[in-house]
Amino acid sequence: MKKTSFRPYALLTPVALASLLSLGGCLEGEPNDVDITTQLKSRVQNIVVIYAENRAFDNLYGNFPGANGLSTVVDSSGKVTATYVVQKDRDGATTLATLPPVWGGVTAAGSSVTVTQAQSAGLANGPFNIGTAFKASANATIDGSVVTRDLYHRFFENQMQINGGKNDMFAAWADAGGLVMGYFDYSASPLYKLAQQYTLADNFFQGAFGGSFLNHQYLICACAPEFPNADTAAAKPTIAVVDKNSDGSYTSSLTRASTSKASALDGTATFTLSGNITPANYFGDGKFYAVNTMQAPYQPSGNAPAGVSGSGALFADTSKATTLPPQTQQNIGDLLSAKSVTWAWYAGSWNAALQDGMQASTAPRSVIYAGNSNGVATTANVDFQPHHHPFNYYANFDPVSHATDRTTHLKDYNDLVADAAAGTLPSVVFYKPEGLYNQHPGYANIANADQKIADLVAKLQASPQWKNMVIVVTYDENGGQWDHVSPPKGDKLGPGTRIPALIISPLSKAGTVDHTQYDTASVLRLITRRFGLDVLPGLAARDAALKTAGGQPMGDMTNALRLN
């Protein structure tokens, strides 16, 4: 797979170039699979996954040199070219004359910068620079320190926006109007500079359609969580109402409410029910699956405990409609443990959130979903997001029957820093920042997370284990934001919209853009190959679906590494 490199090979003399080719076979060549696996096992001892939030590739890296970015669809003055696929209205045929206003305004409540809904109206149908787009209308400059409003990022809505690969209905089905088309000039940020120094993947897609909850689950199991008998469960979880084809099979489109606005220019779309659970048999196996945010059955959870006596405080209230039953599917943790490979999921503010979650239901939360009075995360209100921690949904992390496993594998960020410094990191590491540091629109800005993650990378680089380490910094999903690259056709779970991914390692192909096709579970493919694990069923299913659709399997990220 061809890479775009920033190293000055063109400056080599013919003799030097011939010498280099004789050593490496060719500039773009790779050793055979057996050699790659052998070298991977020999040279990589630690794989670290840093999982940020809700950014499409074009939203942050659209201007990255050598990447498949915004220059594909806009010219140097920012005007769209003939290659840009215009955003359509909800009828799927009419071109939007302008982008819809940003419903509710561009900036989060309490922000030092304010751009109202009215001030956001009339933007041209195309991508725009969020930083400068509102200078004329609101005398506002929006930089990385400003929190912008949240956007829809849900399972069916994401598919409706992608529209079969056209990517032309993001504005039509967004609850944030034209903001979906915005991007930032991210070039001065620490992570952007790390991408320039190491490897940026520009063909990396979120593993599942939709939002954070499902993509975190996909990150560890390449699957969707189940909710058995959701239609008769006493808790009454919400089941999505979805249109059907003439043969009775389900489409990927939510059923619109009779009162829904016909045009995206007149207001947000409304649906009969955009529920958290798929209808029975949506995936063809007669089961119900959770695809939008559900809460963990164990603390820390978004649902308070049913009681605080004995061990009851460790569990979430199962009578709540959003409490997911404990999961039992095979996940990457199971496979690693079966091979005696050490691993841990480290989370920002984990210990504080655990204590916060054990309080009585009448007590106010100070950590879990606890931003400031405007819902924005601060150093005093870190806004821990329980649905970002997928292992806490699994029965083998039951806080009573599997207390030792929880202690071994579910840890706090401070433990990560200490383990890195001591050179005692487990072989596989996942790190999830708390809300303040994850870049999620609506409650977090770009700058705080960017600095926090870059600081952690520096700590990992200072670790005795760095020389044999591969760090992957990526995002759970696009956060509802448009991207110009269509995702490949896979299975009914995904893949969804393109997102950024950085590969940071002494072994990375430094100063390179990697164009290999990846998705979220490519991280699992890398871990599987390095440690000789069994292949999760979801990985095989995804690659089979891609090939059936005439595409190619997802890469395992070894193309981003120099292993020859």
Q: Which residue has the tokens 């390095």?
A: 530
CA distance 381 to 371: 5
What local confidence, expressed as pLDDT, does residue 32 receive? 73
pLDDT score of 104: 96
User: According to the model, what pLDDT value does residue 212 have?
Assistant: 98
Helices (H) and strands (E) in the chain, counts: 15, 15
| Nearest residue to 391 (alpha-carbon basis) of 326, 321, 439, 440 | 326
Distances (CA, A) of 403 to 303, 341, 396, 400: 20, 19, 9, 5
Q: Do residues 340 and 403 touch, judged by C-beta distance below 8 A?
A: no
d(CA 311, CA 205): 41
Amino acid, single-letter form, for residue 39: Q
Strands 428-432 and 46-52: parallel
Q: What is the pLDDT of residue 310?
A: 84
User: In order of start, what are the domains of the chain with their CATH numbers?
Assistant: 3-20+39-63+185-225+296-560 (3.40.720)
pLDDT digits (tens, 9 = 90+) for 96-114: 999 999 999 999 999 989 9
Separation of alpha carbons 272 and 256, rounded Å: 6
Which residues of the chain fall short of a pLDDT of 50? 1-31
Provide the whole-model pTM. 0.94
